[in-house]
């Protein structure tokens, strides 16, 4: 063992004895307390009101209606409203022919027939209305003023059951959908049929086709029963003989004949083009027909 090693051994031993013999020591004391609470994940919900008041029957003389619709964020976290207009039932043609403009207003009282269209407006038809979008705090609501206007050439005597479907969204979350419904009706302001007498043997019906395309099919109806043959817009007229009308009107007298647009399968649509009276009578002991009463 060298002197250096011995010295190291001696120092280590001194340290061990001095350190081990010391009475210096400490205890580790502890104390505890708690802090408790809870965190709630939010939920999304939506509510819509006021749509029923949009139900109306519009005519060319009174084509517009303006009503407020209230969209509510019924959830407990912020949400952005999103709407879609859906033709639930009835005439899609009427929905397509009804212009719609909507804009946000502070309150329902700020939405009247005389109210000018405000900022933030969206427009389209009931068949293609852009979303009514508002960012809402929890439990808050937005009022949209909706003006529905029957466009020129809209089908008469038609009905459409519309739904405005509402959801609220936040990031990737979407609330359950809710909807408010109403009816869009077009009045019976149907154009008068053109009618030409042919000596009691038959009559010839004509009508204004408006903007309808030439391939559109038309049919004449009495009390819902088709009379005569269907014709395309290219031809533009329907002839009726007494025997063609009798299945729908067996007794002599005046009846109303209505010309409607037919669908691809030949069935009548809600698109009423024109109507007018015709009369079945007896002439030379035989059945005859004429225009008017």
What would the two tokens of residue 109 be?
A: 């009282």
Minimum CB distance to other proteins smaller for 44 or for 101:
44
Q: Where do contacts with other proteins occur on this chain (CB under 8 A)?
A: 1, 6, 9-10, 13-14, 16-18, 20-23, 26-44, 76-78, 138, 170-174
39: Cβ contacts below 8 Å, ≥ 6 apart: none
Query: How many other CB atoms are found less than 10 A from the CB of residue 136?
Result: 19
Q: Closest separation between CB of residue 134 and other proteins, Å?
A: 17
Comparing CA positions, the residue from 154, 166, 180, 183 lying closest to residue 90 is 183
**CA pair distance 271, 119, nearest whole angstrom:** 35
Minimum CB distance to other proteins smaller for 1 or for 114:
1
Asked if residue 190 lies in contact with residue 274, where contact means CB atoms within 8 angstroms, the answer is: yes
Q: What are phi and psi of 105, to 5 degrees?
A: -130, 160
Query: How many other CB atoms are found less than 10 A from the CB of residue 283?
Result: 13
| Residue located via tokens 């029923």 | 52
Q: Closest separation between CB of residue 40 and other proteins, Å?
A: 5
Asked if residue 119 lies in contact with residue 165, where contact means CB atoms within 8 angstroms, the answer is: no
Minimum CB distance to other proteins smaller for 10 or for 192:
10
Q: Closest separation between CB of residue 175 and other proteins, Å?
A: 10
Q: Closest separation between CB of residue 141 and other proteins, Å?
A: 18
Q: Closest separation between CB of residue 2 and other proteins, Å?
A: 9
Q: Closest separation between CB of residue 166 and other proteins, Å?
A: 17
Minimum CB distance to other proteins smaller for 23 or for 107:
23
What does 222-254 look like in DSSP terms, one character per residue? ETTEEEEEEEETTT-EEEE-HHHHTTT--SSEE
Comparing CA positions, the residue from 213, 210, 226, 236 lying closest to residue 258 is 226
Minimum CB distance to other proteins smaller for 31 or for 116:
31
Minimum CB distance to other proteins smaller for 75 or for 155:
75
Minimum CB distance to other proteins smaller for 170 or for 279:
170
Q: Closest separation between CB of residue 7 and other proteins, Å?
A: 9
């Amino acid at each position: 063992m060298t002197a250096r090693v011995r010295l190291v051994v001696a120092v280590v031993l001194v340290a061990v004895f001095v350190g081990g013999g010391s009475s210096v020591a400490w205890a580790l004391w502890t104390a505890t307390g708690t802090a408790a609470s809870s965190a709630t994940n939010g939920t999304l919900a939506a509510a819509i009101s006021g749509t029923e008041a949009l139900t109306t029957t519009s005519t060319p003389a009174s084509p517009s209606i303006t009503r407020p619709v209230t969209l509510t964020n019924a959830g407990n976290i912020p949400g952005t409203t999103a709407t879609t207009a859906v033709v639930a039932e009835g005439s899609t043609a009427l929905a397509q022919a009804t212009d719609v403009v909507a804009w946000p207003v502070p309150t329902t009282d700020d939405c009247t027939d005389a109210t000018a269209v405000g900022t933030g407006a969206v427009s389209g038809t009931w068949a293609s209305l852009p979303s009514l979008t508002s960012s809402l705090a929890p439990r808050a609501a937005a009022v949209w003023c909706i003006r529905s206007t029957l466009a020129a050439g809209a089908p008469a005597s038609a009905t459409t059951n519309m739904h405005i479907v509402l959801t609220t969204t936040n990031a990737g979350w979407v609330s359950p959908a809710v909807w408010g419904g109403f009816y869009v009706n077009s009045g019976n302001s149907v154009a008068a049929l053109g009618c030409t007498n042919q000596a009691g043997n038959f009559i010839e019906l004509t009508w204004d086709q408006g903007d309808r395309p030439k391939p559109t099919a038309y049919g004449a109806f009495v009390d819902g029963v088709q009379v005569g043959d269907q014709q395309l817009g290219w031809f533009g007229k329907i002839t009726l003989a007494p025997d063609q009308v009798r299945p729908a009107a067996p007794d002599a007298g005046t009846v109303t004949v209505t010309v409607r647009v037919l669908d691809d399968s030949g069935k009548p649509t809600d698109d009423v083009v024109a109507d007018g009276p015709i009369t079945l009578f007896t002439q030379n002991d035989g059945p005859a027909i004429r225009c008017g009463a």
